[in-house]
Chains A and B, each alone.
Chain A
Amino acid sequence: MRFVDEYRSEESVRKFARAIRGLVTRPWTLMEICGGQTHTLIRFGIDEMLPPSVTMVHGPGCPVCVTPLEMLDRALAIAARPGVIFTSFGDMLRVPGSKTDLLSLKASGADVRMVYSPLDAVEIAKRNAGKEVVFFAVGFETTAPANATAVWQAKKVGIRNFSLLVSHVLVPPAMEVILGSPTNRVQGFLAAGHVCTVMGYREYEPIAAKYRIPVVVTGFEPLDLMQGIQMTLKALEEGRVGVENQYARSVTRDGNVKARAILREVFEVCDRPWRGIGVIPQSGWRLRDEYAGHDAVLKFDVGTITTEEPSVCIAGQVLQGLKKPGDCAAFGKECTPERPLGAPMVSSEGACAAYYNYGRGT
């Protein structure tokens, strides 16, 4: 397929690997933000083609991984109610809450449906006027415009039985948590190409300047990742800081202006808890007051459900690049994709699942 196959050429990927070997004179640690990028790195063995002095650590950009347990318990409490159709992307259905998960709830009779797009959930609401239809709105800036558009559309046409359970998170505040930590190891970032497709990269410029680091907006195919790594290492070796754009075929400095306009119309920035990390100030979106009638937390009064995270899992350290999956005593033993203890083992984009599925880390 065009825009995919040519970016998977083995010969081109190897050429970049050779260029990187000729470039690196010192040890460097880089972080890729997005779980999709982690998946590509491990699946194609890109990290193994780098010089041993270059370490890739894996970032928090996996929505399934950072959605707090209490939000899952709220989802489960809503989905268990009679008269509710609970809709979600497939990724969230298997994630265990403190007692059960959405698929098990479905098996015991709840109406839980997987949708491809949030607009499908609006359609379900339109066709089921006697039911309450709830969509689980998780994800980063890439996914938020679609969810915003769904609720904007429902409000505009008066589909009152449609609501969102919102757990949106934002990349830049999480980057600042990682960079501001006294134990930080990350010297350069590969920023997430699809988040930046929506948001642009202006907001990364002050972060790069404040922490004196290079940030390279990077795509998702093997060649994109190799070039993003090469650009970041070149900037580090030459002592340059600032933002560069490897993924110019999709990303502009201002991002998608129309998508950002609907985000501003529907959402406002709020503090959010991240699973394994804790509350990060101003790191998420919630619905504006004008959309309160479509807010599932208010509609079903689940805001008081709070859950403590179990302490066995080191997901928080893995998500901040402080530890690798193999550093966890439970990895591949008590914790596997079939019986996950923590979210990075549930989602295929989670670092732990990527390491497990491609035979790494043990």
Chain B
Amino acid sequence: MCLGVPGQVVRVETNDLGMAMGVVKFGGISKEVCLMYTPDAGVGDWVLVHVGFAISKLDEESAKEVFATLEAMGDLADLPGPPDAKG
């Protein structure tokens, strides 16, 4: 149930209750999303959406860390162990 889907903000507006709302694009689908918890998310930013609410603005720099870690590992020779399963 705690599914979060990344999407890109394409519009930001304020509803009549003063809540920040917006339109977020997920691949080919666009949906109205509440942006009141991510006030610094603007058009073009990527947010993580859960049940119609953006719960974080995804941090582009932190997102690269895992790939830097992979790079730093270099070429790892495989060690004895179970064969690689489906990935």
Do these two chains really belong together in a complex? yes
- Which residue of A89, A139, A142, A223 is within 8 Å of B66 (Cβ)? A223
In chain B, what residue has the closest Cβ to A49? B85
Count of A-B residue pairs with CB < 8 Å: 159
Whether the Cβ atoms of B84 and A12 lie closer than 8 Å is: no
Using Cβ atoms and an 8 Å threshold, which residues of chain A touch B79?
18, 21-22
- When distances are taken between beta carbons in the complex, the residues of chain B under 8 Å from A117 are 34, 51-53
Q: Is the CB of B84 within 8 A of A145?
A: no
Bound-complex Cα distance A9 to B68 (A): 14
Interface positions, chain A 1-40, Cβ under 8 Å from B, are 1-4, 6-7, 10, 12-19, 21-22, 34-36
Contact A146 B50 (CB under 8 A): yes
By DSSP majority rule, is chain B's interface helix, strand, loop, or mixed? loop
**Beyond A117-B51, A153-B17, A194-B4, is A22–B37 a contact (Cβ under 8 Å)?**
no
Let me know if A276 is at the binding interface, CB within 8 A.
no
Query: Is the pair B34, A198 in contact by a Cβ cutoff of 8 Å?
Result: no
Name the B residues within 8 Å of A61 (CB-CB).
2
Establish whether residues B84 and A49, one from each chain, have CB atoms under 8 Å apart when the complex forms: yes
Contact B4 A17 (CB under 8 A): no
State the main secondary structure of chain A at its contact with B. helix
The answer, yes or no, to whether A111 is at the interface (CB within 8 Å) is: no
- Asked whether, in the complex, the Cβ of B87 is within 8 Å of the Cβ of A13, the reply is yes
A116-B52, A119-B52, A197-B4 in contact; A149/B82 too (CB < 8 A)? no
Q: In the assembled complex, which residues on chain A have CB atoms less than 8 Å from the CB atom of B2?
A: 34-36, 61, 63, 139-140, 142-143, 192, 194-195
Nearest A residue (CB) for B63: A249
Question: Per a CB cutoff under 8 Å, which of A16, A21, A156 touches B17?
Answer: A156
Chain B: CB-nearest residue to A63: B1
A3 to B2, CA, bound (A): 17
| C-alpha gap A347/B58 in the complex (Å) | 28
Count how many chain B residues have C-beta atoms less than 8 Å from C-beta atoms of the other chain. 45
The CA-CA distance from A349 to B3 in the complex, in Å, is 10
Contacting residues, chain B, for A6 (C-beta < 8 A)? 67
Point out the residues of chain A lying under 8 angstroms from B26, CB to CB.
1
B51 x A116 contact (CB < 8 A)? yes
Bound Cα distance A310, B46 (Å): 45
> For residue A71, which residues in chain B have a CB less than 8 angstroms away from its CB?
none
Flag B29-70 by CB within 8 Å of A: 1 or 0 each: 000001011110000001010111101101110110111011
Residues of A close to B78: CB separation below 8 A: 18, 21
A197 to B79, CA, bound (A): 36
Measured CB to CB, the closest approach of chain B to A197, in angstroms, equals 5
Chain B residue with Cβ nearest A347: B1
CA distance A340 to B70 in the complex (A): 42
Question: Does chain B have a CB within 8 A of A176?
Answer: no
Q: Could you say which residues of chain A place their CB within 8 Å of the CB of B1?
A: 35-36, 62-64, 89, 91, 138-140, 142-143, 347, 349
Given contacts A62-B1, A116-B51, 12 further A-B contacts (CB under 8 A): A2-B8, A21-B79, A36-B3, A51-B82, A89-B1, A119-B34, A138-B1, A139-B1, A143-B2, A220-B3, A227-B66, A248-B65
List 7 contacting pairs A-B, 8 Å CB cutoff, sorted by A. A142-B4, A143-B50, A192-B2, A197-B55, A222-B87, A223-B66, A258-B37
